[in-house]
Structure 1
Amino acid sequence: MSSSPGTSPRADGGASRRLHLDVSPIDGSTDDEVTGLLGLGAIKRDVGQGPDRSWVVMADPEGNEFCILRTLAVTRHS
């Protein structure tokens, strides 16, 4: 997991500091992680990343954005 600080607009015109998490699944596929998070109330977000990217931008029910990156799970070759 990595993180990067960012800012987001406040109603009063200022900006508040937010933490953006980047999550790499370690025990399953990226698609499985996204599906599980959707089931928990997260939503996919389009921030202009395009369809050819290897990550998925999501937001929790409160609107906090985070990214699901490629899986780090070991794949078995037969």
Structure 2
Amino acid sequence: MKFGIVNTKEQQYFEKLGARIKQLREEKDLDQKTFAFDCEIGRTQLYMIENGKTNPRLLTLIKIAKGLELSLHELLKVS
């Protein structure tokens, strides 16, 4: 079990969400450290989210969405 992620389906969702956040960040040519600072979250926290190793809090996801200039709804759309 990883960081409160209960089952494989949830784990897969957080891995896909993290990969999406990383891809969107890189498309904007933002390095992890700068982006984390701009979003007022820790770089290690962003690393953990981008690698699907944590279940991010809602406030953290709101900050990331704002940093990526997306709505929270758009950010959470993971296929």
TM-score (ref. length: structure 1):
0.31
Q: Which has the larger radius of gyration?
A: 1
Name the structure where strand makes up a greater proportion of residues.
Answer: 1
Name the structure where helix makes up a greater proportion of residues.
Answer: 2
Greater RCO, CA 8 A, separation 6+? 2
